[in-house]
Amino acid sequence: MSEYDVIIVGNGPAGLSAALYTSRANLSTLVIGKDQGALAKADRIENYFGMAEPVSGCELVENTKCQVKSLGAELVTDEIFQISWNRGFLLTGRERNYQAKAVLLATGASRKKADIKGLAELEGRGVSYCAVCDAFFYRGRKVAVLGNEDYAVHELNQLLPVAGQAVLLTNGLELHAEVPEGVPVIEKKIASVDGEDMVEGVTFTDGSAEKLDGLFVALGSAGSADLARKVGALTDGRNIQTDETMATNVPGLYAAGDCTGGLLQISTAVGEGAKAAMSIIKFVRQQKKG
Amino acid sequence: MAVIKITEQNFETEVLKSEVPVLVDFWAEWCGPCQMQGPIVDEVSEEVPGVKFGKLNVDENMRLAQQYRVASIPTLLVFKDGKIAASAIGLQSKEGLKKLLGV
């Protein structure tokens, strides 16, 4: 597997803006995007610098993709499930795995949230957001994954070799993934996560219940904050904490755009992407020297 | 103060019978966030006097992890007079750790 100088996860304004700078600085740059994100829904953008006529989100992103490619960056479509760090980064994707000296997280703000009674209260007491971190504690026990897409199946696959029993709960959503053989899928809507001190099970809205020792949340796709948490970056709930250079507490890991909170505007995302790129260029050059 | 290694053998003397509060970091080698928590604990231990700092490897001390119902790591427990006085689950910043210790 070849190692890139920098991998940018997310192909919105923050990620693409950073790619402009890193590829111009001659860093081997890979941009991994899952879809168009929030901007695909913006028909008319009227508040961005330099546009005499309103521009659509898609047009803006597609133009920048062309610009980034012409500067030598690679762009691929893939979904990242996990990032781990050991003197370099390993990214686990749906299509393949990737390696990089530095990573920029720029997948936007996560807009999917489960609002189930008991879920927040039992976090860390049987409710987990990281299968690779916490599977160990559920050896031989019964666990469930909450989700309906490929990310949920990735988390299931982390748990299956360890847990005694695993089920998939979609919370009323339609299943959009291929579930490993033998794993039961319950598509009913969940009313509550139950347990006094530790998770004991879930109750569905039809009154039926399922006994569980652990519940792993993997709704939608892994957002920047999920990926950040797995690799050990500090978050304040949904936003990734960075310093003024867009660096997280993990050496070589940076974040920019909506996933850091703040204004949620294209202009700030582009600015943060540029700032992060400057820090990344400095970091990678130091790595190459040392 | 140096950070000590807590095990099932020394848990009682170093933690439960300690005369000063003890912050115990439950961690494991395979846990990414724990690799980041370690240096933060080291740093805080240099700055906060009157507190003992320990690291407990959950792989080697599963019984203690179970006893304190650790189901997610890093978990940080502060013991005072043999009892849990404060706890936090998930990676904590330097400020977060200090808050946990009430300093």
Q: Flag whether residue A96 sits within 8 Å of chain B, measured between CB atoms.
A: no
The string of pLDDT tens digits covering residues A176-189 is 999 999 999 999 99
Domain count, chain B: 1
Tell me the torsion sign for CA atoms A195, A198, A202, A205.
positive
Domain with B86 in it: 4-100
Assign domain A127-217 to a CATH class: alpha beta
Per the annotation, the verdict on B81 as an active-site residue is: no
Domain ranges of chain A: 3-111+222-289, 127-217
Q: Flag whether residue B41 sits within 8 Å of chain A, measured between CB atoms.
A: no
The string of pLDDT tens digits covering residues A69-102 is 999 999 999 999 999 987 799 999 999 999 999 9
Do residue B72 and residue A85 have CB atoms under 8 angstroms apart?
A: no
The whole-angstrom distance between residue A193's C-alpha and the CA centroid of its chain comes to: 24
- Which CATH number characterizes residue B86's domain? 3.40.30.10
Q: What is the pLDDT, as a whole number, of residue A176?
A: 95
Per the annotation, the verdict on B34 as an active-site residue is: yes
| Cα R_g (chain A), whole angstroms | 20
Do residue A133 and residue B70 have CB atoms under 8 angstroms apart?
A: no
Residues 6+ apart with CB under 8 A from B51: B1, B20, B21, B22, B23, B45, B101
* The CA-based dihedral angle spanning residues B28, B31, B35, B41, taken in that order and rounded to the nearest 10 degrees: -60
The string of pLDDT tens digits covering residues A113-154 is 678 999 989 988 999 988 988 998 999 999 999 999 999 999
Q: What is the pLDDT, as a whole number, of residue A111?
A: 58
Do residue B93 and residue A249 have CB atoms under 8 angstroms apart?
A: yes
CATH domain A3-111+222-289 topology = FAD/NAD(P)-binding domain (3.50.50)
Task: Give the whole-number percent of chain B exceeding pLDDT 70.
Answer: 100
Largest CA distance in chain B: 32
Q: A264 or B83, which is more confident?
A: B83
List of chain A residues whose C-beta atoms are within 8 Å of the C-beta of residue B91: 229, 232-234
Q: What is the pLDDT, as a whole number, of residue A190?
A: 97
